[in-house]
Structure 1
Amino acid sequence: MTADDLIEVQTLSVRIPARAALDLLEGDLGVRVPELLSSVRLDIDRVGALVTPVRRG
């Protein structure tokens, strides 16, 4: 996660609190986010996924 990434998100009118921004840039959250994003499936029908319950685990 970089400062440029935070700016890009904020241009979409998403407010990122200062403490969260610092954790994204310098803390564990910045390490976890890319790992979590890499686990997002891209091969699913996103419209159908909106009505399908998400399984935890």
Structure 2
Amino acid sequence: MSVDGGKVLPQIWSPHACFVNSKDASIHRSPFSNIFLQIYSNGSVWHNYR
């Protein structure tokens, strides 16, 4: 089964990353979203941003 990760991913809960004692942080943005989303038969979810 193939799904659009950009539409499905916002519906899946994921914890927020927290970097303790960080002086500066930024998230790299790209003109094209490149998201890999894999849902296993046991219900596990793995997603990766590139």
Q: TM-score, normalised by structure 2?
A: 0.27
Larger radius of gyration: 1
**Structure whose residues are more often helix by fraction:** 1
Q: TM-score, normalised by structure 1?
A: 0.25
**Structure whose residues are more often strand by fraction:** 2
